[in-house]
Amino acid sequence: PRPILDMSYSRHFLDFQGSSIPSSMKKLVVTKLSQNFREAVTLRQDSPVPLPGDGDLLVRNRFVGINASDINYSAGRYDASLKPPFDIGFEGIGDVVALGLSASADYTVGQAVAYVKAGSFAEYTVVLAKQAVPLPSVKPEFLTLMVSGATAYISLKELGELSEGKKVLVTAAAGGTGQFAVQLAKAAKCHVIGTCSSDEKGSFLKSIGCDRTINYKTENVESVLRKDYSEGVDVVYESVGGKMFDLALNSLATKGRLIVIGFIAGYQNPTGLQPIKAELLPAKLLKKSASIWGFFLNHYLSEYKMALKHLLKMYERGDLVCEVDFGDMSPEGKFTGLESVFRAVDYMYMGKNIGKIVVELPHSVNSKL
């Protein structure tokens, strides 16, 4: 067992490999509200490394996750009371390098943890010990489960009413959360249809169990659904918005359920929303006894730990693929360091990623031992 360092009242840091924790660090900060991520966010080079309090962990971030909603956060759409400057980034995974006295009851220096908390786009983040998730090792695959995996699991469990033989349509199916919706619907013995934007993504979707892939660049999604699924689909896991939302709504079967996870097509618009044909919505829902459900992970935190436990077990058993995209195929190569977060967000909005986009934060450790 590694020694526990009580850092709660100390100004002097040592990490578990005997190297000094610096007094300053890099982090990303929202300095202006804008749906243009590059305009909104500034890389600060010399922010003070935060001190953990009594119940806190200081985590040295090794991998951080990119989410479509990072743009919503930097545009101030989630919390109108939040005024710049404020920290950004929703999830990270790394090593505990210091901790408070109470936190040391459950954690030790050197332990691998993941967390969901605003402010992960930084070299170091203070996390409440009770909100951290202890992990067997620092693997980027674990990070894919924190927001993306949990969103798919909880929304389908609470709202999807999945059962054997149901037809499930997943939009943006090869993305960070879509990959989990496909696999979880397959695990529930459903027939799964996934939309995507390339043959490469289609091949990936088939490899994780998707029954029918629709490349919307080469096939007409509406025609395919009308022809092959004339009675409609039972559940839609929808994260695109705009025209795709309309199409999904029109494709619902009797008693069909449409779960709105997001509307990425509208996140970079100044208004934030692409118009949908909502005038006929009441009539369409009535005609099919259909329903639309919105899902926002923060409203289901009571289910979170149970969901994560289940997903981790599935992954460890080999029953879940956690696809990570480090941007190796992007023009400038792998996403490494906080400065590459800007590229990673662009890459997501160009629809290039297969799986969850993750940025690696390398740290040079100058051991004193």
Q: What's the pLDDT at 19?
A: 55
Query: How confident is residue 365, by pLDDT bands cut at 50, 70 and 90?
Result: low
Each residue's pLDDT tens digit, 134-175: 999 999 999 999 999 999 999 999 999 999 999 999 999 999
Interacting residues of 213 by C-beta distance below 8 A, sequence separation 6+: 173, 193, 194, 195, 196, 201, 202, 205, 206
* Domains of the chain: residue spans and CATH: 9-138+323-360 (3.90.180.10), 148-299 (3.40.50.720)
The answer to whether 93 and 138 have CB atoms below 8 angstroms apart is: yes
Average pLDDT over residues 262-270: 87
Cα distance between the two ends of the chain: 18
Tokens of residue 257, six digits: 């359920």
Average pLDDT over residues 217-231: 98
* CA 91 – CA 246 distance, rounded (Å): 31
* CA 169 – CA 185 distance, rounded (Å): 10
* CA 332 – CA 58 distance, rounded (Å): 31
The yes-or-no verdict on residue 9 having pLDDT over 60 is no
Query: How confident is residue 276, by pLDDT bands cut at 50, 70 and 90?
Result: confident
For residue 134, which amino acid is it?
P
Directed axis angle between helix 281-288 and helix 243-250, to 10°?
Answer: 30
Q: Average pLDDT, whole number, for the chain? A: 92
The answer to whether 251 and 229 have CB atoms below 8 angstroms apart is: yes
User: Which residue in the block uniquely carries the two structure tokens 């924190």?
Assistant: 146
pLDDT higher at 105 or 10: 105
* Phi, psi torsion values for 227, nearest 5 degrees: -75, -50
Query: How confident is residue 363, by pLDDT bands cut at 50, 70 and 90?
Result: confident
Query: How confident is residue 366, by pLDDT bands cut at 50, 70 and 90?
Result: very low
Each residue's pLDDT tens digit, 296-331: 999 999 999 999 999 999 999 999 999 999 999 999
Q: What's the pLDDT at 12?
A: 42
* Phi, psi torsion values for 309, nearest 5 degrees: -60, -45
Q: Quote the Cα angle for 88-295-314, to 5°.
A: 85
Question: What string of DSSP letters covers 198-218?
Answer: SHHHHHHHHHTT-SEEEETTT
The yes-or-no verdict on residue 360 having pLDDT over 90 is yes
Average pLDDT over residues 327-342: 97
* CA 252 – CA 125 distance, rounded (Å): 44
> Does pTM top 0.85 for this prediction?
yes
The yes-or-no verdict on residue 17 having pLDDT over 80 is no
Average pLDDT over residues 290-301: 96
Q: What's the pLDDT at 53?
A: 87
Each residue's pLDDT tens digit, 37-81: 999 999 999 999 998 888 999 999 999 999 999 999 999 998 889
Closest CA to 354 of 193, 185, 169, 204: 204
